[in-house]
């Protein structure tokens, strides 16, 4: 899946697409999901710097915007970090608020299932290369859904959210050691491992933590 970059001549339209995807995801969920996503959207529309991917706002200001207490702010921001939707770019210090960033790739992956609720035109606009045509549907390998090991469970989720990327980059990985919160994955080549570390490590970490919250580190090694 190609990540939307809200820059350039069509930046305004891309921003609306991202917000529309989030809205559709929220509306398809329960009240807790709706409230959490709408609160994040309020921060984006009010204080987010799209060009720099920075959200700089203190907990007191967030509490005032959301009309809640600061304990609720801490809880919901922790949930958004756990989902991988927001990331800390710079820790806060005395007299200076933390700088947060949005993980747009993770947001679009998590909302993907609900894009169709907006319309087929929306899906085709966001993924023009993925729209199937007659006689051109490529069957992707599926991981063993009965796999009981940690990597097997992670593979199921990775394949479900992005089959093409799974087939190209994740399918050939093997599980190495799992100890002290560190999951080691074995790559067939140095190039493959370097690409994963540079471009897809964040995605791997997020999915691994969703399967096992005890995973703090994902390490890519070469066989």
Half-sphere exposure of 135 (CA within 13 A, CB side): 0
Q: What is the pLDDT of residue 127?
A: 82
Find out whether 216 and 204 touch, Cβ atoms under 8 Å: no
CB neighbours (10 Å) of residue 19? 14
Mean pLDDT of the chain: 87
Domain residue limits at 85? 11-107
* Domain at 177, CATH number: 3.30.300.180
Residue 59 falls within a domain, yes or no? yes
Report, as an integer, the average pLDDT of 192-218: 91
Quote the CA–CA distance of 182 and 37 in Å, as a whole number.
Answer: 30
- Look up the pTM and report it: 0.74
Give 59-101 pLDDT, tens digit per residue.
999 999 999 999 999 999 999 998 999 999 888 777 788 899 9
Residue 112 falls within a domain, yes or no? no
Residue 34 φ then ψ, to 5°: -60, -45
Residue 130 falls within a domain, yes or no? no
Give 150-167 pLDDT, tens digit per residue.
999 999 999 988 888 899
Residue 137 falls within a domain, yes or no? no
Query: How many structural domains does the chain have?
Result: 2
Residue 126 falls within a domain, yes or no? no
Residue 142 falls within a domain, yes or no? no
Position 195 pLDDT exceeds 60 = yes
Same domain, 103 and 188: no
Residue 4 falls within a domain, yes or no? no
Same domain, 21 and 74: yes
Quote the CA–CA distance of 205 and 173 in Å, as a whole number.
Answer: 14
Same domain, 95 and 169: no
Residue 25 falls within a domain, yes or no? yes
Confidence of residue 11 (pLDDT cuts 50, 70, 90): confident
* Domain at 45, CATH number: 1.10.10.10
């Amino acid at each position: 899946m190609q990540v939307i970059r809200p820059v350039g001549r069509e930046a305004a339209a891309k921003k609306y697409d991202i917000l529309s995807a989030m809205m559709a995801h929220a509306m398809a969920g329960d009240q807790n999901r709706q409230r959490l996503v709408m609160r994040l959207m309020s921060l984006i529309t009010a204080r987010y710097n799209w060009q720099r991917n920075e959200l700089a706002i203190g907990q007191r200001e967030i509490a005032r915007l959301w009309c809640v207490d600061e304990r609720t702010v801490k809880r919901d921001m922790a949930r958004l970090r756990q989902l991988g939707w927001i990331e800390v770019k710079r820790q806060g210090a005395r007299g200076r608020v933390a700088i947060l960033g949005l993980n747009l790739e993770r947001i679009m992956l998590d909302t993907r299932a609900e894009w169709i609720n907006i319309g087929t035109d929306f899906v085709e606009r966001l993924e023009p290369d993925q729209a199937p045509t007659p006689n051109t549907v490529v069957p992707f390998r599926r991981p063993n859904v009965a796999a009981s090991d940690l990597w097997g469970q992670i593979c199921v989720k990775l394949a479900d959210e992005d089959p093409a990327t799974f087939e190209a980059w994740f399918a050939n990985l093997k599980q190495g050691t799992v100890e002290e919160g560190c999951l080691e994955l074995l790559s067939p080549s140095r190039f493959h491992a370097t690409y994963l570390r540079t471009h897809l490590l964040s995605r791997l970490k997020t999915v691994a933590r969703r399967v096992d919250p005890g995973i703090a580190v994902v390490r890519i090694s070469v066989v």
